[in-house]
Amino acid sequence: MLAKCQSRTIIGTCSRHIDVEVDISNGIRSFTIVGLPDAACRESAKRVISAIRNSGFKMSCSKVIVNLAPAHLRKEGAMFDLAIAIAIVAAEFKISQGILDNKVFCGELSLDGGLRPVNGMLCVADDLKETPETELLLPWQNMAEARAISNARLIPVSSLAETVNYIANGALPPPKTCPPLAVDDKEKDDMDFSDIRGNYHAKRAVEIAVAGGHNILFIGPPGAGKTMLAQRIPTIMGALSTEQSIQTSKIYSIQGLLNNKSLINKPPFRALHHFSSDAGMLGGGSNYINPGEISLAHNGVLFLDELPEFRRDVLEALRQPIEDKLIRITRSGKSVVYPCDFMLVAAMNPCPCGYLTHPKKACVCTPHQVHRYLSKISGPLLDRIDMHVEINPVDYEQLSLKSNAESSSSIKIRIDNAKAVQSARYEGYKYALNARLSYKDIEKVCVLTKDASSMLKQAMCELFVSARGYTKILKVARTIADIAGRPVIDVEDIAEAVSYRSLDARAWL
């Protein structure tokens, strides 16, 4: 007896169609799964047999062969449990093949026949929205994320028996209470830029960086407020659009980080420890190609504290993703692409002891130690960071000041206005922020006054800025002009943009 049904497997942030073919016959008792299954997939045999028996169905035949097609594609995880069980029941009870043709089955089975949630269901639902005639039968716990895709036909089920009853008799499963769609994101809610006293130039730099999507590096002694500034950046970024929310949530769904509750609707903030490996940063793994931290920070912030303490190979691996906004990870016979459009925020001390630029504490490092410490960060990587901002310690007068500093909400108003200007300018383009401006459009968008052009020429000669640094200055200056409401880049915009290239000038050494 032969039966076939459909399932899906996750590759990157997309899903691929899988045919689950089952042949059952009399013979020596066996249960064989072919089609490049991994260990978790091969173990489906024991789960499926127990689930079928404990759901009240009996198998008259003992020899079962399951083929997961296409055979060349590696099958990973327990997502195929439900499809395998349905195909076996359909073969045993001779359910019409036509009933199964427009249905996709995904879910992990427990031994009692219940369904457990699986990772990546948001990706499956998003891919099936183009075929509204296809029904997706999925664990009800995954409905919170999957129902964000409005055009997908979703049938939430809680058990194998409920699924069989639906396909055989057309009985819709009883309605279930799903968790709310909105994210209960409590983290960072108690943070605000009004907490930061002093460091006005640093807060101004952060405002420019967020408004234009620029990467930023903070340089300063311990306790100057570098981490405090970075942690409050998401409070002025605003909520994600629907498209951005789904893009980011798909990555978290693959990793099982949505907790089967809801979507990510705020910019993610990923802070890495400097012991992170290249696989943890970029993605990969020994068995599965999982997304890394740069992909989990998609549409958000990637914060690297103590930048020179990271391994050199980990930092150098960031160079291409920063430019391309995606990462292609290739393993033997498999290649996966993950998006990674993030804002890089980094922080570092000016020397190993941290007090080279401190106004009161003396540095105890030798020139050789300082040089070795700074050389851990290569020139090409620094070139890809738009803004280098020096931060000095805040004195007692500023710390004890009673007046409230500017809040995140008031800063966000100016940022939103600048983003609106950029959105109107780049309508029809593939990008919407100045930091993404392509080389061919720079001359058209970054129009300078005569004085601004002269100042930029002087800065290029004195600071030995590279060609990439030149474009970074123009993009930052364009953002500064947008915040000020100037259609043309003026001399003060260039002057301020140049001041944020302190590592090119080496003025703080």
Residues 413 and 481 in one domain: no
In this structure, what DSSP letter does residue 155 have? E
What's the average model confidence in pLDDT over 50-61? 88
Residues 104 and 223 in one domain: no
Nearest of 132, 109, 101 to residue 46 by alpha carbon: 109
Task: Name the residue range of residue 28's domain.
Answer: 2-169
Residues 222 and 332 in one domain: yes
pTM: 0.90
| 68-82 pLDDT per residue, tens | 999 988 898 899 999
Phi, psi of 115 (to 5 degrees): -105, 135
| 383-429 pLDDT per residue, tens | 899 999 999 888 877 777 766 778 999 999 999 999 999 999 999 88
Residues 418 and 442 in one domain: no
| 9-26 pLDDT per residue, tens | 999 899 999 999 999 988
Q: Domain with 268 in it: what CATH number?
A: 3.40.50.300
Give the domain-ending residue among 425, 451, 466.
425
Whether 430 is in a domain gets the answer no
Sign of the CA dihedral running 255, 261, 267, 268: negative
Residues 409 and 456 in one domain: no
Whether 462 is in a domain gets the answer yes
Give the domain-ending residue among 391, 425, 459.
425
Whether 133 is in a domain gets the answer yes
Q: Domain with 156 in it: what CATH number?
A: 3.30.230.10
| Structural domain count of the chain | 3
Whether 179 is in a domain gets the answer no
Is the distance from CB of 221 to CB of 361 less than 8 angstroms?
Answer: yes
Residues 45 and 160 in one domain: yes
Q: How confident is the model at residue 268 (pLDDT cuts 50, 70, 90)?
A: very high
In this structure, what DSSP letter does residue 236 have? G
Give the domain-ending residue among 361, 392, 425.
425
Residues 311 and 380 in one domain: yes
Region class of 274: left (phi > 0), else alpha (psi between -120 and 50), else beta:
alpha
User: For the residues of 87-150, what is the DSSP string, one character each?
Assistant: HHHHHHTT--HHHHTTEEE--EEPTTSBEE--TTHHHHHHHHTT-TTSEEEEEGGGHHHHTTST
Query: For residue 57, how many other CB atoms are within 10 A of its CB?
Result: 17
Whether 182 is in a domain gets the answer no
Reading the block at residue 261, the tokens are: 């509750």
Residues 293 and 337 in one domain: yes
Residues 212 and 291 in one domain: yes
Q: How confident is the model at residue 506 (pLDDT cuts 50, 70, 90)?
A: low
Reading the block at residue 270, the tokens are: 């990923």
- pLDDT higher than threshold 90 for residue 332: no
Please measure the distance between the N-terminal and C-terminal CA atoms of the chain and give it in whole angstroms: 78
Whether 420 is in a domain gets the answer yes
Region class of 248: left (phi > 0), else alpha (psi between -120 and 50), else beta:
alpha
Residue keyed to tokens 């045919």: 19
Whether 175 is in a domain gets the answer no
What are the distances in angstroms from CA 41 to CA 45, 46, 111, 144, 235?
8, 10, 15, 25, 42
| 441-463 pLDDT per residue, tens | 898 999 999 999 999 998 888 87
List % helix, strand, coil for the chain (3-state, nearest 5). Answer: 40, 20, 40
Residues 26 and 124 in one domain: yes
In this structure, what DSSP letter does residue 435 have? G
Residues 244 and 390 in one domain: yes
Q: Domain with 468 in it: what CATH number?
A: 1.10.8
Helix intervals (H) in 297-383: 312-316, 319-324, 367-374, 379-383
The CA distance from 422 to 436, in Å, is 11
Region class of 346: left (phi > 0), else alpha (psi between -120 and 50), else beta:
beta
Determine the pLDDT at residue 328: 92
Residues 211 and 333 in one domain: yes
Whether 178 is in a domain gets the answer no
